[in-house]
Structure 1
Amino acid sequence: MVRSIYARISGVGIVCALLLLALVVIAPAAARGDTIAEIESGDTVFVYEEGLDLSALRNETTDTPVTALVKYTDDDLDKGEINRISVPDETDFDLDDADVGEYTGLYYAYSKEDNARTGKRIMVRYPEVRIEPVLAAPNHADRIEGITIPTGTAIAFKVIGSYVGTQYVAGDEHASVDIVVTTPGGAELTTFEGRDLTDLPLTASNFYTDDPGMPGPIRLEGLEEGKYKVQARWHSPQGFADYAEDSNIITIYSGERIGVNTPLPTPTVTTVTTPTTTVTGTPTAAPTTAVPTETTAETTVSETSVPETTTTVPATTPAPTPLTLIPVFAALLLGILVMTRE
């Protein structure tokens, strides 16, 4: 009994531990400090950010200012440096792309006064955003890029900002984008089919424009037929809006709607008619093929009379030739005599 109770308690403990672990994994990471500019060890910092405060990356023992961010080969502190970013003012730092180049990844804070690493580190990335056109909820799995969308169809846009949506956050402060629609005539719109697509906050790794709190589904009604181009462009922060690369450009086509119960047009069948010739006048009997028959031929030769010859089909049974009865009787009598003698 004791062993059974102990096993049950252990099982409950294991389940609780798994639940706690799941909560830790699911819970969003605290990206920044009290404000978006306050950077702490473990944060992700994006190229083109401005006015960052790196003072929380100081060495806790010496408390000397951070003067550089250093990236090491293979992120191994015992290997050489591959990039060093100077930090003139740790409380007002701008991260430029010219300082980062292709060397994104893990950087360690460095103190010139201590001539040593502070033990604090951050991740450096470029801000990226991408969009996909989809059918409105609940059909978000149906992508519609590059195809003609029937009039009356409700659509939405999926906005993907994996790291910005989860790491550029402090309280209610997030990065945001505008979705710009370019019409077939070349006009650029941020209000499309009655939906305001400006200043959409990146509050998660991805979202849809018809999610709760978002502008809602876009119903394509009365649009000019043709090709529409759509792009997400950075709205905030200002450094992203000024310098960061905007999203991919997607293309959708608007066309006439074909209803479900609309009968399909009947295909036209072309009949090839063989021309006939009509002859006017007295009709002439069609020639018939003569079947050869045996007829009686009569030939007349001058001054010589030839009897008329008639060709007849021979009878099936030939006519019997008459025999004289005397030889027959003689043969019979001879046979009787021979038999009598014996």
Structure 2
Amino acid sequence: MILRRGNPMSSTNRHVGGVFLICLVAVLFVASISAPAGARGAAISDVQPGDTIFVYEEGLDLSALRNAATGNPVTALQRFTDDNTAKGLIAEIPVPDDTDFDLIDASVGGNTGLYYAYSQADGLTGNRVYVRYPEVSIEAVLASPNHADRITGITIPVGTPIALRVVSPFVGTDYIAGTTHASVDIVVTTPGGAELTSFGGTNLANLPVTSPQFYTDDPGVGGPIVLDRLEEGAYQMQARWRTPQGFADSAADSNIITFSVGDRIGVDVTVVPTTPPTTAVPTTVPVTTAPTITTPPQTTTETPVTTEPTTVPVTTEPTPVPLSLFPVVGALCLAVLAVGRR
């Protein structure tokens, strides 16, 4: 009976080879998921499949959207109903040169969304991009660490530090390639009409839009805005595109925030209602002292005139009283006569 001994190294080699293959796949997988994904290619103009491109961008290179097998140039970007290429075509953007393409507003016409690359030679290439308008908005909040406290519509004490929340959801994530990004200026319009980008002790110019949302007092961005020692009147704040130039020239700027410093209009308004109740109206009533000229007082003066009956008792001649003296006088006369006779 002959026993055959197998080669132990063969099974060991197979085991080592399997382990090595598994490790290699794992390393490649980890490397693939850990590699940073850029919004664009090496340059901001290098558009890759799945990127977002913005209206008013200039000099875009769409050659990466070509059919890889043929390399024929892209001649149009097409949008379909429900983003389904089997359904109807609803919008088309012509591409005269896919290596130097300007995305103008007139070509988009408000039809933003998912677009498929199309070639006259190949038809749909199988690659697609998103088309959006660059948007930015601002909101006033208290300075860090109280960013959750909105101050729009309320009154705050003079000297309170505030900040602005700047929101640009797509530009802040998709318009980035290396160190290239968009930027905005926060422009403050004073009551006299002057436009400033340095205000409240903070430089608000050329703020980088490198995230969907940031605050003007974030580290490395600007700082808190202190509303103190300011000219009285109404102020306005607005975020305006600074870069890229296409955004600065044509894209819509943000909403406007208005606030007042030392607002005295309210005081004037409170004074105005106090002027109508002037006391001149009541004084005119006493001026009409006609009631004092009423004739009843004159009739009272006539009543003393009618009291002349008092003269009647005076004229009721007490002369009869002297008449009572005649007997006395007569008696005296008689006495005189009698003495005379004697």
Structures share a fold, TM > 0.5? yes
- Asked if structure 2 preserves the Cα contact closer than 8 Å seen for 1:148 and 1:254, the reply is no
Structure 2 match to 1:36:
44
Pairs within 5 Å for 1:78-117:
78-114=86-122, 116-117=123-124
- Asked if structure 1 preserves the Cα contact closer than 8 Å seen for 2:139 and 2:166, the reply is yes
Which amino acid in the other structure matches residue 30 of structure 1? G
Aligned counterparts of 1:118 and 1:254: Cα–Cα separation in 2: 59
The structure with more helix, counted as a fraction of residues: 2
Per-residue deviation, 1:225:
2.6
200, 207, 215: which one pairs with 2:214? 207
The 3 A distance-change label for structure 1 pair 184 and 148 is farther
Structure 1 residue runs of 4 or more that deviate by more than 6 Å after TM superposition: none
- Asked if structure 1 preserves the Cα contact closer than 8 Å seen for 2:172 and 2:213, the reply is yes
Per-residue deviation, 1:224:
1.6
51, 76, 81: which one pairs with 1:68? 76
Per-residue deviation, 1:29:
4.9
- Asked if structure 1 preserves the Cα contact closer than 8 Å seen for 2:141 and 2:147, the reply is yes
Instruction: Give per-residue Cα distances to partners, 1:179-217, cap 9 Å, x unaligned.
Output: 001112222111112321111110000000100101111
Per-residue deviation, 1:93:
0.2
Q: Number of residues paired by the alignment?
A: 235
In the alignment, does 2:242 pair up with 1:230? Answer: no
51, 54, 67: which one pairs with 1:46? 54
SS state at 2:228 partner: coil
The 3 A distance-change label for structure 1 pair 76 and 56 is same
- Asked if structure 1 preserves the Cα contact closer than 8 Å seen for 2:208 and 2:221, the reply is no
- Asked if structure 2 preserves the Cα contact closer than 8 Å seen for 1:144 and 1:252, the reply is no
Which amino acid in the other structure matches residue 234 of structure 2? K
Aligned counterparts of 1:139 and 1:225: Cα–Cα separation in 2: 26
Aligned counterparts of 1:187 and 1:28: Cα–Cα separation in 2: 44
Per-residue deviation, 1:124:
0.3
SS state at 2:151 partner: coil
166, 177, 180: which one pairs with 1:159? 166
SS state at 1:241 partner: helix
Per-residue deviation, 1:28:
7.8
TM-score, with structure 2 as normaliser: 0.65
Aligned counterparts of 1:227 and 1:144: Cα–Cα separation in 2: 16
Which amino acid in the other structure matches residue 190 of structure 1? T
Aligned counterparts of 1:228 and 1:147: Cα–Cα separation in 2: 15
Aligned counterparts of 2:243 and 2:163: Cα–Cα separation in 1: 22
SS state at 1:242 partner: helix
Aligned counterparts of 2:190 and 2:149: Cα–Cα separation in 1: 23
Aligned counterparts of 1:81 and 1:41: Cα–Cα separation in 2: 20
| Structure 2: gaps (5+ residues) | 1-28, 264-342
In the alignment, does 2:144 pair up with 1:137? Answer: yes
SS state at 1:122 partner: strand
SS state at 1:175 partner: strand
| Structure 1: gaps (5+ residues) | 1-19, 257-342
CA RMSD, aligned part only?
Answer: 2.2
Instruction: Give per-residue Cα distances to partners, 1:313-342, cap 9 Å, x unaligned.
Output: xxxxxxxxxxxxxxxxxxxxxxxxxxxxxx
The percentage of aligned residue pairs carrying the same residue is: 65
Which amino acid in the other structure matches residue 199 of structure 1? N
In the alignment, does 2:250 pair up with 1:243? Answer: yes
Aligned counterparts of 1:213 and 1:140: Cα–Cα separation in 2: 17
Aligned counterparts of 2:190 and 2:156: Cα–Cα separation in 1: 14
SS state at 2:38 partner: coil
TM-score, with structure 1 as normaliser: 0.65
